[in-house]
């Protein structure tokens, strides 16, 4: 897979290569990361890529031409026609299903806006999809692109040390993840749940599933609407809710 990022701040996005499992995967070229600065495609003497908005008002707008030339450069070097994604607060809200779909693509171009935004004609002519990282506005698309790249790369086979850790993550099975514990066993009288200490794999798996169901039910009821629980799962959820009720009444 290849990901090209069109950004005025390539150094910012490049930091992805320096840290953690995603950095290791990028350095090992499990995913090829290309960084393209539209400033290099500006024909202005001062390398400007923005101008004032028609109609007046505050802020500047990214110009069509440098962006279009930057994209042409990427496309002309590509083996397949890349999917062009604009990170935008006006896009669809990113979720794990979208991340997985992006992972199927051979080549993606992520385009990061700055200032008040981008000349609409660039979006109309060249952008295939717009995606948002949430209902708030950040100063530029770089952090959003980095969120998407991180989410994609960590799901690729072999990137995480333990294959199972991605599968157990929140959203992978339509559920939130269960709570986790590590040493010491006792912190100020709060003990690790005994099921996790039992060494019994079946018991541990059942405890985890129960808590995944319980957490999802209490924290994200909207996710429950998309699930159809088996008899055993419903029973585990009922047990979880009874245990919580019992604990709260004590
Ligand atoms: C200051 S914002 C422009 C916001 C624009 N005026 C609006 O209100 O829709 C500059 C750039 O940051 C990026 N951006 C801001 N918020 C985002 C979000 N929630 N998700 C993805 N990208 C975002 C976009 O690339 C955008 O072009």
Q: Give start and end residues of each alpha helix (H) in 181-224.
A: 194-197, 201-219, 221-224
Ligand 1 test: best mutation among 113, 115, 145, 147, most atoms within 8 Å of CB?
113
Domains located in the chain, CATH noted:
2-155 (3.40.1280.10), 168-249 (1.10.1270.20)
What share of the chain has pLDDT > 90, as a percent? 94
Residues having CB closer than 6 A to ligand 1 are: 87-90, 112-114, 116-118, 132-134, 136-141, 144
Which pLDDT value is given to residue 163? 59
The whole-angstrom separation of Cα 26 and Cα 15 is 11
Average pLDDT over residues 146-172: 88
Report pLDDT for 141.
Answer: 98
pLDDT band for 185, please (50, 70, 90 cuts). very high
pLDDT above 70 coverage of the chain, percent: 99
How does pLDDT run across 41-66, given as a tens digit for each residue?
Answer: 999 999 999 999 999 999 999 999 99
Q: What is the pLDDT of residue 186?
A: 98
pTM tops 0.85: yes
Task: Give me ligand 1 centre to Cα 116, in Å.
Answer: 8
Are 237 and 244 in contact by the 8 Å Cβ rule? The answer is no
User: How far is it, in rounded angstroms, from Cα 250 to Cα 245?
Assistant: 9
pLDDT at position 166, please? 80
pLDDT digits (tens, 9 = 90+) for 89-117: 999 999 999 999 999 999 999 999 999 99
Closest ligand 1 atom, residue 136 Cα:
19
Q: Looking at the annotation, which residues are catalytic? A: 89, 116, 154, 169
Binning the chain into helix, strand and coil, the percentages to the nearest 5 are 45, 15, 40
Residue 118 DSSP code: B
pLDDT of amino acid 164: 62
Please give the pLDDT value at position 250: 86
Q: Is the pLDDT of residue 205 over 70?
A: yes
């Amino acid at each position: 897979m290849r990901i090209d990022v069109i950004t005025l701040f390539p150094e910012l996005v490049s930091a992805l290569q320096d840290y953690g499992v995603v950095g290791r995967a990028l350095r090992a070229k499990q995913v090829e990361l290309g960084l393209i600065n539209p400033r290099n495609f500006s024909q202005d003497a001062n390398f400007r890529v923005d101008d004032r908005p028609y109609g007046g008002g505050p802020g500047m707008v990214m110009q069509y031409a440098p962006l279009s030339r930057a994209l042409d450069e990427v496309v002309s070097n590509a083996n397949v026609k890349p999917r062009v994604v604009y990170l935008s607060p006006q896009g669809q809200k990113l979720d794990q299903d979208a991340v997985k779909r992006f992972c199927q693509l051979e080549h993606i171009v992520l385009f990061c806006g700055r200032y008040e935004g981008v000349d609409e004609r660039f979006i109309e002519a060249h952008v295939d999809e717009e995606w948002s990282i949430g209902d708030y506005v950040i100063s530029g698309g770089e952090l959003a692109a980095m969120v998407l790249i991180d989410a994609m790369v960590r799901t690729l086979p072999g990137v995480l040390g333990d294959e199972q850790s991605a599968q157990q993550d929140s959203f992978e099975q339509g559920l939130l993840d269960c709570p986790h514990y590590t040493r010491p066993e006792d912190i100020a009288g709060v003990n690790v749940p005994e099921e996790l200490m039992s060494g019994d794999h079946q018991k541990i798996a059942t405890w985890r599933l129960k808590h995944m169901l319980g957490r999802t039910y209490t924290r994200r009821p909207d996710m429950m609407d998309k699930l159809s629980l088996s008899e055993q799962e419903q029973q585990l959820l009922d047990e979880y809710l009874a245990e919580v009720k019992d604990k709260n009444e004590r």
